[in-house]
Structure 1
Amino acid sequence: MTVPAETETLSARLPAVAARWLREALTTVEADPSRIDTLLTSAGRHCGRQPLPGDPPPPVGRTVDDAVRALLLARVPWRGATLADALSRLYWQGDAAERRGVLRSLSCFGSRNTLGALALPLVHDALRTNDPRLIAAALGDYAARHLDAAAFRQAVLKCLFSGIPLVAVAGLAERADPELTRMLTDYAEERRAAGRAVPSDIEPFIGAGPTTRE
């Protein structure tokens, strides 16, 4: 994500009053990052909680407050362990909407922040929930870079069992491996055997025909 470009894009989608609040909030958090707690809490009230225009519908797409919170967090000047500690605190003390904002923000942090895999516990926690919007928010570019192969495969299956379209999983085409193909093919076979429909979005990732069991 290119944060300045994303800011302009988001501002253009907001009513004038909300766009002005966002610009002022971004300036505030850069100057005084200790204000981030209050700003994250009030983002929905000032900017709205409706699906973000131009995004797919939830759970895959963002809500307006998701996008606003991610941008606010991307502006904090913290780095490394300090950043990871702040994100963890904000995640654990936040409600579901604020947690989504933290998860959505992870893709904003590149190598310059030296965040590395320090925020992975937040991703793992979200993937343990049954909240489709939280799960989808966790599976952005950050998860694609840092989840190990086993955890990534389980995240894909979690999406299927939770009714989340696989377009929510960043990096799926690049990270699909033979073991994931086997797992998804087994899933498809089980659904066919039970007379249930197979989600069309898994077709590119499954075997051409039924698997053979010993």
Structure 2
Amino acid sequence: MLNLPPESAALLDEPARAWLDAALLEAAHAARHTPPPHTATAPPAASPPVPAWELRFASAGRHCGSDLAAEAARILLLRTARTGAPGAARLYHRGTAAERRAVLLALPFLEIAPAHGLPLIQDALRTNDTRLLAAAVGPYAAAHLDAHAWRHAVLKCLFTGVPLDAVARLAHRARGDTELARMLEDYAAERTAAGRPVPADLHHALALTTAAKESS
């Protein structure tokens, strides 16, 4: 069974550990007993009951003692349950900001195709919640966002003050991206003309594109 990262596990007291152990058993049971997709011959007569582990997912904040531990527990539950696209979308859209962030952070570990995972990333990128934005520009976005959407995600981070350290594979994707360089230069010019400071992260991102172009 998967385990919490050590820094998160250290934050759990004994009752929280017992709660999480029970939650993970429920998630593992759900993973073993979830029917494969597209096997039903007719739609169910009624909505199935909410799996017990999903209720645990929602209540993690009340049991784990810290935001960091609750987030790690939620990600672990998603991975243990082998959550698919419908479950991830349901938990995201019904969840609090903390629950949505956990779904976004779990996406790289789940077998969810871009056609189903990217709408969640795109929804988060439309918000001004910096914690959601930071989660949305992680490895899943780096792997699957197209160039246009990825560039605008980088600019959105600059607009909202999300450190560009949160942008997965920034150096790799910025390499030789002349359009990103143009957008960064335009934004810097707008800030300067308005008498506002240019974020240091902007200079860093611009240097990545310039260095890459000079070395190519």
Q: TM-score range by the shorter chain?
A: 0.7 to 0.9
1:36 corresponds to 2:33:
no
1:183 corresponds to 2:183:
yes
* 1:1-214 superposed matches below 5 A: 4=2, 6-32=4-30, 34-50=51-67, 52=68, 64-78=69-83, 83-109=84-110, 113=111, 115-117=112-114, 118-176=116-174, 177-206=177-206
Q: TM-score, normalised by structure 1?
A: 0.78
Compare CA radii of gyration and give the structure with the larger one.
2
8 Å Cα contact 1:159-1:166 kept in structure 2: yes
1:66 Cα deviation from its structure 2 partner: 2.0
8 Å Cα contact 2:108-2:140 kept in structure 1: yes
1:179 Cα deviation from its structure 2 partner: 0.9
What RMSD, in angstroms, separates the aligned Cα atoms of the two structures? 2.0
What's the counterpart of residue 35 of structure 2?
Answer: none
1:193 Cα deviation from its structure 2 partner: 2.4
Residues 131-187 of structure 1: per-residue CA shift (max 9 Å, x gap): 111111211111111111000011111111111111111111111121111111211
8 Å Cα contact 2:4-2:72 kept in structure 1: no
Residue identity opposite 1:153 in structure 2: R
8 Å Cα contact 1:192-1:198 kept in structure 2: yes
8 Å Cα contact 1:139-1:169 kept in structure 2: yes
Aligned length: 186
Give structure 1 stretches of 5+ with no counterpart. 53-63, 209-214
| Structure 1 ranges of 4+ moved more than 3 A | 3-9
Residue identity opposite 1:71 in structure 2: L
8 Å Cα contact 1:99-1:134 kept in structure 2: yes
Q: TM-score, normalised by structure 2?
A: 0.78
Residue identity opposite 1:30 in structure 2: A
Aligned partners of 1:27, 1:5: CA distance in 2, in Å? 12
> Sequence identity, in percent?
50
CA change 1:170–1:97 in 2 (3 A) is same
1:129 Cα deviation from its structure 2 partner: 1.2
8 Å Cα contact 1:65-1:101 kept in structure 2: no
8 Å Cα contact 1:136-1:168 kept in structure 2: yes
1:7 Cα deviation from its structure 2 partner: 4.2
Comparing 8-17 with 41-50, which one deviates more in the overlay?
A: 8-17
